[in-house]
């Protein structure tokens, strides 16, 4: 028998309803903030992620599903959304026509990670990208938008951490200070961090193995006056609207971030980030466009759902059609369509089964009523409507059935 691939999942109802609910909340909030939906392709050039997400990131080094297609193209199944958004922005010439763009996307991402709770090889991200606004107001706006979505969905137990990674002026100094500090402890670092130390020392702070023990000990970032002013303003705008704490250890695992970075965290497992993002003021330029500021975030739908937990979503009341005789099948079938057209959830049509089998299915579906049609009913152009809770029965004519049922359910 065919088997599911490790790290991938089938998601049935009622779990799948959580996703729809979260997506609906997100769409409503995105609309309030004037963000428009961008539907991105799942496959991109591998190079896109190597160049933007970053060659030394876990995503590109270890987690990316990259492959060569029959035409010898080097492709990747997207591990994240931002590079695709920026590619689409540049390729479709928004730079010339409408440089300020607010996009959102909803889609599955793929990373070959070790599967565990809250960490899957295929997972859903809902993301937002605000391109073309360098003002601290944009940072505050996207953070509050994220909060609004999470709040609307009903997840409550999370903390918000923010930090500034500075710019090309102040980060190199910090980078060097970090290298000096970490070099002294090089031998005690995990294998990965030993390489990170040279290529991207900030990433050591984000390491799932080593990160924690440097808390409070590593040198902290000295921002240049512009970056400090930006960060101060972001915090001023957020004050009173969202609870947050500044965490100097928050560095994020992607290469393209500058200035503001943030995470919404729930629980204390290593997969505690329910959503994360930051500014990426140099990415558009690095990808071949003009210097264009931008900020964005992505939330992991599974983790947001896990942090809220399932809530009971009431199943709509429904009717179930039973035909007692082959001669009645067509009339029953046509009536089912008429009742659906009236807006009532309608099931049935298991007409190859006997009445007992059909009634059993009505029970399994959790239907409130059975609509039964036999040859007597057909002759009189009426049905027997049976309340499956009380067992009460009544006759209703074909013509009035849709409206009558609508009143009942």
The residues that touch ligand ATP, with contacts defined as CB under 6 A, are 80, 111, 113, 118-120, 123, 125, 253, 271, 273-276, 298-300, 302-303
Closest to ligand ATP by CB, 87 or 386: 87
Minimum separation from the CB atom of position 300 to ligand ATP (A): 2
**Distance from C-alpha of 354 to C-alpha of 372, rounded to nearest angstrom:** 12
Q: Are 59 and 253 in contact (CB under 8 A)?
A: yes
Task: Give me the long-range contacts of 249-252 (CB less than 8 A, separation at least 24).
Answer: 249/163, 249/205, 249/211, 249/214, 249/215, 249/218, 250/161, 250/162, 250/163, 251/163, 251/165, 251/202, 251/203, 251/205, 251/206, 252/165, 252/206, 252/276, 252/278
Angle, helices 301-308/15-32, rounded to nearest 10 degrees? 110
> Which residue shows structure tokens 């409408």?
98
Q: What is the 3-state secondary structure (H, E, C) of 95-135?
A: HHHCCCEEEEEEEEEECCCCCECCECCEEEEEEEEEECCCC
Distance in Å, CB of 391 to ligand ATP, minimum? 48
What residues are paired with 77 via a beta bridge?
43, 65
Supply the minimum distance, in Å, between the C-beta of residue 81 and ligand ATP. Answer: 9
CB nearer ligand ATP, residue 253 or residue 289: 253
Three-state secondary structure call for residue 289: coil
**Residues 147, 331: Cα–Cα separation, whole Å:** 52
At closest approach, how far in Å is the CB of 214 from ligand ATP? 16
Return the number of the residue (237 or 304) whose C-beta is nearest ligand ATP: 304
CB of 303 to ligand ATP, least distance (A): 4
DSSP 40: -
Residue closest to ligand ATP when measured from CB atoms: 300
**Rounded to the nearest whole angstrom, what is the least distance from the CB of residue 106 to ligand ATP in the complex?**
13
Nearer to ligand ATP, 125 or 282 (CB): 125
CA torsion angle 306 110 15 115 (round to 10): -60
Residue placing its CB nearer to ligand ATP in the complex, 77 or 371: 77
Give the number of other Cβ atoms within 10 Å of residue 1's Cβ: 2
Separation between Cα atoms, residue 110 and residue 244, nearest integer Å: 30
Which H/E stretch holds residue 180? helix 171-183
Bridge-partner residues for 184, per DSSP?
none
CA atoms within 13 A on the CB side of 231: 24
Nearest CB to ligand ATP, comparing residues 310 and 330? 310
276 vs 336, beta carbon nearer ligand ATP = 276
CA dist 223 and 201 (Å) reads 17
Task: Look at strands 122-131 and 294-300 and give their pairing.
Answer: antiparallel
Q: Are 210 and 178 in contact (CB under 8 A)?
A: no
Measured from the CB atom, the residue of 144 and 173 that comes closer to ligand ATP is 144
Minimum CB distance to ligand ATP smaller for 253 or for 402:
253
**Shortest separation between residue 311's beta carbon and ligand ATP, angstroms:** 20
Query: Which is closer to ligand ATP, CB of 255 or CB of 382?
Result: 255
């Amino acid at each position: 028998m065919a088997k599911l691939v490790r790290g991938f999942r089938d998601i049935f109802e009622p779990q799948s309803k959580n996703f729809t609910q979260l997506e609906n909340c997100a769409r409503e909030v995105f609309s309030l903030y004037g963000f428009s939906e961008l539907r991105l392709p799942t496959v991109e050039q591998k190079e896109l992620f190597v160049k933007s997400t970053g060659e030394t990131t876990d995503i590109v080094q270890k987690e990316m599903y990259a492959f060569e297609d029959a035409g010898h193209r080097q492709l990747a199944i997207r591990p994240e959304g931002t590079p695709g958004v920026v590619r689409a922005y540049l390729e479709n010439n928004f730079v010339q026509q409408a440089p300020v763009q607010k996009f959102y996307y909803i889609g599955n991402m793929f990373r070959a990670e070790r599967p565990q709770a809250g960490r899957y090889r295929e997972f859903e991200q809902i993301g937002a990208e605000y391109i073309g606004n360098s003002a601290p107001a944009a940072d505050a706006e996207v953070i509050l938008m994220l909060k609004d979505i999470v709040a609307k969905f009903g997840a409550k137990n999370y903390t918000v951490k923010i930090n500034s990674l500075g710019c090309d002026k102040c980060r190199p100094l910090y980078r060097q200070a970090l290298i000096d500090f970490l070099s002294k402890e090089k031998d005690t670092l995990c294998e990965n961090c030993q390489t990170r130390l040279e290529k991207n020392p900030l990433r050591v702070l984000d390491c799932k193995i080593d990160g924690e023990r440097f808390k409070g000990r590593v040198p902290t970032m000295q921002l240049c006056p512009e970056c400090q002013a930006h960060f101060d303003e972001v915090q001023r705008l957020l004050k009173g609207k969202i609870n947050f704490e500044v965490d100097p250890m928050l560095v994020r695992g992607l290469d393209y971030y500058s200035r503001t970075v943030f995470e919404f965290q729930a629980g204390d497992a290593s997969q505690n980030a329910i959503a994360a993002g930051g500014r990426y003021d140099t990415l558009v330029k690095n990808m071949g466009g003009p210097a264009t500021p931008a900020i964005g975030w992505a939330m992991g739908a599974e983790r947001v759902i896990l942090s809220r937990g399932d809530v009971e979503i009431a199943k709509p009341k429904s009717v179930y059609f039973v035909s007692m005789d082959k001669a009645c099948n067509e009339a029953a079938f046509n009536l089912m369509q008429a009742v659906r057209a009236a807006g009532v959830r309608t099931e049935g049509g298991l007409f190859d089964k006997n009445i007992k089998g059909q009634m059993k299915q009505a029970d399994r579906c959790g239907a409130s009523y059975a609509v039964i049609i036999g040859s007597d009913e057909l002759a009189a152009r009426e049905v027997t409507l049976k309340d499956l809770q009380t067992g009460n029965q009544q006759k209703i004519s074909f013509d009035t059935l849709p409206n009558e049922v609508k009143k009942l359910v």
